[in-house]
Amino acid sequence: MSESTRLDAFPLFVRKQTQKIPAKITALSVDRRQFLKISGVSVGSGFILAACSEQTAEMQSAPVSCASQHDLNVFISIDCDDTVTLTLHRSEMGQGIRTGLAQVLADELDAEWSKLKFEQALGDEKYGSQNTDGSRSIRHDYARLRKLAATARTMLEHAAAQVWETDLSNVEAKAHAVHHKLNNRRLSYGALAELAAGQSIPDDSAIKLKAHTDFNYIGKAIDLIDIDALTSGSAVFGYDVQVPDMLYASIERCPVLGGKLKRCHEDEARKVPGVVDIITLPQNTVPVLFQAWHGVVVIATNTWAATQGREKLTCDWDLGKNAEHNSQAYFEMLKSRVNEDCEPTNSLGDVEAAFDNAASTHEAVYQVPYQPHAPMEVPAAVADVSDSGCEIWSCTQAPQGARDHVAQALGMAKENIKVNVTFLGGAFGRKSKHDFCVEAALISKAVGKPVKVCWTREDDIRFDYYHAMSAQYFKASFDKDAQVTGWLQRTAFPSIVSIFAPEYGNTNPEWELDLGFDELPVAVKNIRHEKGKSEAHVRIGWLRSVANIHHAFARSSFIDELAHKARQHPLSFFEQIMGPDRIFEPKNENWNYSNYGETTESNPISTARLKAVARTVVEKSDFTQNAAENSGWGLAASRSFLAYVAIASKVSVVDEHLTIEEVHCAIDCGLAVNPDRVRSQMEGAVIFGMSIALMGEISVRDGQVEQSNFDDFLLARMRQSPKKIVVHIIDSKEVPAGVGEPGLPPVAPSIANAIFAATGNRIRELPINKVYSV
């Protein structure tokens, strides 16, 4: 697998090059047609600011064209009517990223909120990364957008100083206009737009970013910019898209990954009124990547006809070698592997000596099953393929990736593929895989008309890219003073790499272990980490918080077990095992910690911040081990995607029925651009984590997923939700960290630890409904 393949395949995990503010920022005065070519934004001529990579002098003086601007990242346009337009390049799926990016722009530009306009970007690398996953949109774009907006503001000030023939120090941009400090004159941004476009680009030393105390929007709970569209029903999601002459496709997929069609009886399906054609998608090859899943496609003039025709197909499949896969037997194999010596990934001191000399030891094995994404809106895509190219409309998290994989499947140049991004009805990582876009494109090419691929809920659950099932083994030793002297942990789970490069797929790369396993900052002198082999038999993909889900469950559960064995309060023991306040650097000579794509200089691991969120939930929640009979509190804390989150859950268990009474969450995500969005993401993470903890499970028998809909794959219902969810946001001026994913990992272990406090019964295997009714 080449380096370029690795970077494309794993964009949210690999360490990127140290991000720098663009070396040059170019002001462009262009007409409407030129602007449309560059950005796809429909506005009149005006002032455009574009962040560019390093450019030659020839490029800067060249006429505006797509070819010379291929490195563009983000555009800011100021129209003559005073409107500021931001072309938003990330996908909106309810997390509020469009609003957050707008806050950053408007604040540093000192624009009036009512005069902002927003357009969704097409899939194009000129915007930089558009992958809306990995909890990185704000943390990657915050500094860049601020610099762009501050540069635009400075250029507007230069233009006003020129009009008034005064020194730059006598003017100030404020509230969507430039003001003369020595008199009451003002010029609106719109009035200055054309002149500003002709200004020389200021040196970096002349561009002044706002002080935090001067922020108008950053750090404020601004309402979603899309709230009216979302609540009125006018917002267009992937499944809403309709284009003229569109056909509908429903796919009967091979029930096992890697199987192939032997024969299919289509006669009855073709008799269904409205059915236009039946075709077969190609058999899958290795690596599976984001190929269309092999199957028989019924194409019709409406959804009903397509689904009815599909039901009348009779297909005979050769299910292949993965038909031998059974998840329960696979669990037993994983557990047996982690109970034996595995491949070391990190070590410190002499663990075996610590165990040999211990006053006592404690060990445990934990397991977490496969999990699907199951967003409320299933995957959806419309494709219109012609001889000249292809246009896609899709609820995609990664439009550039969708474009590239569609181009490869069609044998077209990616420049001839246009990807329109709709709103997403949830995603959690599922819609950063492009198989559904490829399906639509291949079918449209076959029939010569626009086609919408109609996934059902059953398709969504049975043909997902699943979060890996896992088994983990932990062992620790104590000295006579109940201090932990040795720590051994092993993990085994099928790797995401398996869909990209199966030859590496039976082991986990470093970056996958960086997600909650090797980054553990415990203050123990003797440590060893090991990984076990684990082959993949289903498509493995990244789900919200990825491997942190199972790693945090096992680690936080084990820390609570050790606290009980040491007869200490969970918080006291957690602070003790985390050690003194320090910056932890998780690396050795064989391992370069990826740190979610950031440097440890800019985003270090701080044990002080981790302990602070744990203290916060304990202090704010009236956490006590002396709760009422049959009830108890549980604590868990973790760092993921550069943010620190702790969860304290209170449960009661009566007549073998579990009730989650109350949940407190504390997050330190650095600067919170929109606290209301942070709060909503934490509340959503609690419910999402509850679903995984209480009921979430995908099981496989004979290679086929047994679940199919929300009657057998269960999500948390309102009656199961806590009476109270309280979110505490730590006030911080640190650089922004991730928010969408970090709230999830501590939820399940906090509930499991609370069950122990209430009942004395340890939960080491999820889901919990195998033990208690919920």
pLDDT tens digit sequence for 141-187: 999 889 989 988 999 999 999 999 999 999 999 999 999 999 989 99
pLDDT tens digits for range 220-241: 999 999 999 999 999 999 999 9
The per-residue pLDDT for 627 is: 79
Over pLDDT 90: what percentage of the chain?
82
The CATH number of residue 430's host domain is 3.30.365.10
Please determine, for residue 328, whether its predicted confidence score (pLDDT) is greater than 80: yes
Same domain, 337 and 383: no
The per-residue pLDDT for 74 is: 55
Of 407, 423, 454, which marks where a domain is finished?
454
Residue with tokens 């003797």, as numbered in its chain: 526
The per-residue pLDDT for 199 is: 81
From CA 142, how far away is CA 162, in angstroms rounded?
31
The per-residue pLDDT for 48 is: 57
Residue 688 phi/psi, 5-degree rounding, is -60, -45
Within 8 A by CB and 6+ apart from 737, the residues are 135, 139, 603, 641, 642, 643, 668, 669, 670
Q: Which pLDDT band holds residue 34 (cuts at 50, 70, 90)?
A: very low
Mean pLDDT of 357-382: 98
Mean pLDDT of 74-92: 86
Helix (H) or strand (E) holding 439: helix 435-447
Same domain, 313 and 334: no
Mean pLDDT of 81-109: 93
The per-residue pLDDT for 193 is: 87
From CA 682, how far away is CA 687, in angstroms rounded?
9
Residue 384 phi/psi, 5-degree rounding, is -130, 105
Is 582 inside any structural domain? yes
pLDDT tens digits for range 272-322: 999 999 999 999 999 999 999 999 999 999 999 999 999 999 999 999 999
CA trace torsion 764, 765, 767, 770 (10° rounding): -100
Within 8 A by CB and 6+ apart from 363, the residues are 473, 474, 475, 476
Mean pLDDT of 721-727: 97
Pairing of strands 631-640, 275-281: unpaired
From CA 252, how far away is CA 446, in angstroms rounded?
17
Same domain, 222 and 367: no
Residue 467 DSSP symbol = B
Same domain, 83 and 168: yes
Contact call for residues 369 and 389 (beta carbons, < 8 A): no
Is 108 inside any structural domain? yes
3-state class (DSSP) for residue 719? helix
Same domain, 333 and 217: no
The per-residue pLDDT for 55 is: 32
Residue 166 phi/psi, 5-degree rounding, is -135, 170
pTM: 0.91
The per-residue pLDDT for 23 is: 30
Same domain, 655 and 735: yes
The per-residue pLDDT for 504 is: 75
3-state class (DSSP) for residue 85? strand
Greatest alpha-carbon span in the chain = 85
The per-residue pLDDT for 587 is: 72
Q: Which has more confidence, 2 or 649?
A: 649
From CA 696, how far away is CA 582, in angstroms rounded?
36
Same domain, 141 and 30: yes
Is 652 inside any structural domain? yes
Q: Which pLDDT band holds residue 219 (cuts at 50, 70, 90)?
A: very high
Helix (H) or strand (E) holding 530: strand 526-531
Same domain, 518 and 386: no
Of 454, 482, 510, which marks where a domain is finished?
454
Listed residue (348, 243, 355, 318) closest to 579, CA to CA: 348
pLDDT tens digits for range 238-247: 999 999 999 9
Same domain, 364 and 277: no
The per-residue pLDDT for 26 is: 36
Q: Which pLDDT band holds residue 502 (cuts at 50, 70, 90)?
A: confident
Q: Which pLDDT band holds residue 41 (cuts at 50, 70, 90)?
A: very low
Residue with tokens 């996908």, as numbered in its chain: 91
Is 723 inside any structural domain? yes
Residue 265 phi/psi, 5-degree rounding, is -95, 115
Contact call for residues 696 and 767 (beta carbons, < 8 A): yes
Q: What rounded mean pLDDT belongs to the chain? A: 89
Angle between helices 189-197 and 137-164 (to 10 degrees): 90
Mean pLDDT of 718-736: 96
The per-residue pLDDT for 126 is: 84
Distances (CA, A) of 754 to 53, 574, 624, 638, 757: 51, 15, 11, 17, 5
From CA 130, how far away is CA 135, in angstroms rounded?
12
Listed residue (599, 542, 551) closest to 133, CA to CA: 542
Within 8 A by CB and 6+ apart from 128, the residues are 51, 73, 74, 89, 144
Domain count, the chain: 3
The per-residue pLDDT for 46 is: 57
Over pLDDT 70: what percentage of the chain?
90
Mean pLDDT of 53-77: 34
R_g of the chain computed on alpha carbons: 27
Same domain, 313 and 411: yes
Mean pLDDT of 188-206: 87
From CA 749, how far away is CA 767, in angstroms rounded?
11
Question: What letter represents residue 647's amino acid?
Answer: I
Mean pLDDT of 538-549: 98
From CA 694, how far away is CA 533, in angstroms rounded?
28
Same domain, 475 and 565: yes
* Cis bond upstream, residue 255 (ω within 30): no
Please determine, for residue 77, whether its predicted confidence score (pLDDT) is greater than 90: no
Is 6 inside any structural domain? no
Is 5 inside any structural domain? no
Q: Tell me the two tokens of residue 18.
A: 């140290």
Mean pLDDT of 9-24: 34
Is 8 inside any structural domain? no
Mean pLDDT of 750-769: 98
Classify 396 in phi/psi space as left (phi over 0), alpha (psi -120 to 50) or beta.
beta
Domain boundaries, position 637: 327-372+465-770
The per-residue pLDDT for 449 is: 98
Of 399, 426, 454, which marks where a domain is finished?
454
Same domain, 202 and 313: no
Q: CB count, 10 Å around CB of 504?
A: 14
Mean pLDDT of 693-713: 98
Is 751 inside any structural domain? yes
The per-residue pLDDT for 505 is: 66
